[in-house]
RNA sequence: GCGGAAGUAGCUCACCUGGUAGAGCGACAGCUUCCCAAGCUGUAGGUAGCGGGUUCGAGUCCCGUCUUCCGCUCCA
């Protein structure tokens, strides 16, 4: 465990040192749980996105993509349940560390008082609470709790923190004039799913989609996490890759199982180790789900959720129909019936997938020989995800070798990301490429001038082979396909 | 949010009981070697996270604050 914790630290340092991830606005001390992707990180992230997007939209005839706005009509979040469920004032007991919703605590107290026979007092307390809640008077609520000596059920003490509002959703003012009250308030979306649901009919009709079909989306979401930590694992601003699959009611069990299997296959198709994956089935289900599981991966910090597969029933579309007064139904010509489709959701955290790829790739190798100690840090990315696919090195800076190397570079860089370097000893250049996970290094030497062959040095095995210049592009393209 | 630990150069760290900041690696320029890092020469880079206090003097002691990691808690 200690070594794993060290490994996590090492990965964080490595991400910083080689331009994968920086703390946001670091020169101002950073911003809690917000990170920037650097020159290498943004490439890796983009490659992960592309791989997911293509596997969804290109390889499935019945899945299409959209890109919805981050701002959505405020009613969206009422329909989804986010406003009601996640905007409550909370209070913590300092002894038991238990956190309560203030209204639950006070209602519980009132209930006890009523049971003890003092109905008048119970009503008075509840009336005060409602008045204070309506005014968002947190100090008053605290006073009410103190005055009535309300106790924590666990610790039995009255040692409370202040009343605080935990807003899961970030809000901002819409329009250029601020301060016009609640009417102007919009939220930054706390999940991307709703952008798909509100566009369900648009896509279904304009795309002439037939159930079952899916809508995929990659985009940012924002959650004001109370505790956000563990590097990029839990961030306040993060990116999701989601697919909502619309199905006939009653078929959700089979489609749920189908997507469970399908999504795990996707992970394994990247050559990731199956023994580091596991499913975690939810026992306690969210308000919208009738079945749910997580795909967990064994990070250096333990098994953690990377992706969720949820059977969301018709909860979202039904609520949007109710709130918008617009029918969210589909006419199924096979059975001649109108219905609100059921939904299976697959939702993977892009940043978590990034961390997964990074943790799995990060390897420290001891290359010592009896003659001298030696080691390297190598990122064993799947070739198709590597930020840079190929590096080209002239063995020396002279004798026309750089010109040949530049030629190879120019020929290949239209097809994939290449890197050119002529500084330092060849071994050092190899090691630098190891550190950013470049799968292939091409070295041009004097023999190249005679027979047009070069050395290919493979990242993981460190083995070398000679191939004709003509074969380079095909080899790399084959590996990243 | 509670508790613990930490913040000094890009990275890893040193500076013992307060006396004006140092190493290794890395980077950059050049030389040398030329198929797996650490050869030679030179260079750059830190108001010690930030703010305040104690002191003749603070990286070092005290307080606050920000950030990070660990444990607990939370995570629709």
The pLDDT of residue A126 is above 60: yes
A1 — pLDDT class (breaks 50, 70, 90): very low
List, in order, residues 6 or more apart from A366 with CB less than 8 Å away: A374, A375
Among candidate residues A307, A308, A316, A309, the one with its CA nearest the CA of residue A287: A316
Tokens of A229: 């930590």
**Residue A88: what pLDDT?**
66
A57 — pLDDT class (breaks 50, 70, 90): very high
Q: Is the CB of A463 under 7 A from strand B?
A: yes
Torsion of CA A270, A271, A276, A278, to 10 degrees: 50
**Residue A274: what pLDDT?**
94
pLDDT digits (tens, 9 = 90+) for A324-376: 999 999 999 999 999 999 999 999 999 999 999 999 999 998 888 777 778 88
The pLDDT of residue A100 is above 80: no
Read off the pLDDT of each residue in A253-265 and give the average, rounded to a whole number.
96
**Residue A178: what pLDDT?**
54
By CB atoms closer than 10 A (0-12, 13-18, 19+), residue A98 is middle
pLDDT digits (tens, 9 = 90+) for A393-415: 999 888 889 999 999 999 999 99
| Bridge partners, residue A311, by sequence | A291, A344
Q: Is the CB of A83 under 7 A from strand B?
A: no
Tokens of A35: 């990170």
Assembly ipTM:
0.87
pLDDT digits (tens, 9 = 90+) for A309-338: 999 999 999 999 999 999 999 999 999 999
- State the Cα–Cα distance between residues A384 and A381, nearest whole angstrom: 8
Distance of A474 CA from B35 C1′ (whole Å): 23
Q: Is the CB of A78 under 7 A from strand B?
A: no
Read off the pLDDT of each residue in A278-291 and give the average, rounded to a whole number.
83
**Residue A332: what pLDDT?**
95
The pLDDT of residue A220 is above 80: yes
List, in order, residues 6 or more apart from A382 with CB less than 8 Å away: A270, A271, A357
Distance of A412 CA from B20 C1′ (whole Å): 56
**Residue A370: what pLDDT?**
77
Q: Three-state SS for A365?
A: strand
> Do A90 and A100 touch, CB atoms closer than 8 A?
yes
Q: Is the CB of A280 under 7 A from strand B?
A: no
Q: Is the CB of A99 under 7 A from strand B?
A: yes
Per the structure, the residues numbered 425 to 444 in protein chain A that have their CB within 7 angstroms of any atom of strand B are 425-428, 430-432, 443-444
The pLDDT of residue A3 is above 60: no
**Residue A179: what pLDDT?**
55
Q: Is the CB of A226 under 7 A from strand B?
A: yes
The residue to which tokens 């041009």 are assigned: A444
A142 — pLDDT class (breaks 50, 70, 90): confident
Q: What average pLDDT does chain A have?
A: 88
Distance of A22 CA from B51 C1′ (whole Å): 25
pLDDT digits (tens, 9 = 90+) for A164-177: 766 778 888 877 66
Q: Is the CB of A272 under 7 A from strand B?
A: no
End-to-end CA distance of chain A: 37
**Residue A94: what pLDDT?**
62
Chain B footprint positions (protein CB, under 7 Å) = 1-2, 7, 10-12, 26-29, 32-38, 49-50, 66-76
Helix, strand, coil share of chain A (percent; to 5): 40, 25, 35
A254 — pLDDT class (breaks 50, 70, 90): very high
**Residue A2: what pLDDT?**
38
**Residue A104: what pLDDT?**
76
**Residue A407: what pLDDT?**
93
Q: Is the CB of A25 under 7 A from strand B?
A: no
Tokens of A215: 């809508």
């Amino acid at each position: 465990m200690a070594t794993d914790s060290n490994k996590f630290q090492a990965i964080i340092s490595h991400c910083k040192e080689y331009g994968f991830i920086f703390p946001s606005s670091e020169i101002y001390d950073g911003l809690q749980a917000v990170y920037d992707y650097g020159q290498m990180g943004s490439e890796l992230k983009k490659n992960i996105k592309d791989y997911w997007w293509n596997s969804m939209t290109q390889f499935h005839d019945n899945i299409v993509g959209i890109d919805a706005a981050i701002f959505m009509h405020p009613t969206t979040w009422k329909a989804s349940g986010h406003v009601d469920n996640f905007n409550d004032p909370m209070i913590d007991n300092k002894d038991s560390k238990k956190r309560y919703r203030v209204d639950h605590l006070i209602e519980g107290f009132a209930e006890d008082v009523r049971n003890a026979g003092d109905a008048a007092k119970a009503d008075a307390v509840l009336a005060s609470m409602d008045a204070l809640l309506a005014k968002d008077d947190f100090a008053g609520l605290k006073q009410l709790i103190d005055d009535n000596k309300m106790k924590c059920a666990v610790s039995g003490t009255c040692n409370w923190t202040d009343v605080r509002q935990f807003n899961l959703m970030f809000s901002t003012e819409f329009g250029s004039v601020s301060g016009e009250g609640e009417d102007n308030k919009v939220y930054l979306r706390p999940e991307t799913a709703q952008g798909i649901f509100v566009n369900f009919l648009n896509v279904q009709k304009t795309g002439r989609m037939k159930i079952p079909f899916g809508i995929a989306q990659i985009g940012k979401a924002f959650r004001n996490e109370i505790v956000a930590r563990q590097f990029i694992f839990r961030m306040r601003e993060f990116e999701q890759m989601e697919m909502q699959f619309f199905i006939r009611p009653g078929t959700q069990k089979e489609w749920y199982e189908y997507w469970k299997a399908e999504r795990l296959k996707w992970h394994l198709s990247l050559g990731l180790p199956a023994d580091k994956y596991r499913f975690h089935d939810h026992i306690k289900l969210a308000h919208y789900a009738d079945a749910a599981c997580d795909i967990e991966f064994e990070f250096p910090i333990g098994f953690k959720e990377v992706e969720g597969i949820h059977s969301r029933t018709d909860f979202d579309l039904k609520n949007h129909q109710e709130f918008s007064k617009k029918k969210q139904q589909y006419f199924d010509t096979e059975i001649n019936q109108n219905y609100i489709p059921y939904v299976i959701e697959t939702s993977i955290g892009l940043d978590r997938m990034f961390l997964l790829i990074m943790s799995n790739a990060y390897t420290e190798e001891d290359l010592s020989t009896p003659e001298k100690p030696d080691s390297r840090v190598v990122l064993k990315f799947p070739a198709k995800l590597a930020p840079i696919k190929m590096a080209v090195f002239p063995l020396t800076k002279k004798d026309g070798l750089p010109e040949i190397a530049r030629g190879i570079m120019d020929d290949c860089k239209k097809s994939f990301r290449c890197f050119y370097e002529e500084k330092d000893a060849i071994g050092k250049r190899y090691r630098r490429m190891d550190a950013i996970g470049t799968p292939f290094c091409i070295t041009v030497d004097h023999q190249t001038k005679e027979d047009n062959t070069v050395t290919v040095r493979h990242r993981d095995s460190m083995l070398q082979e000679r191939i004709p210049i003509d074969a380079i592009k095909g080899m790399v393209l084959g590996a990243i396909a």
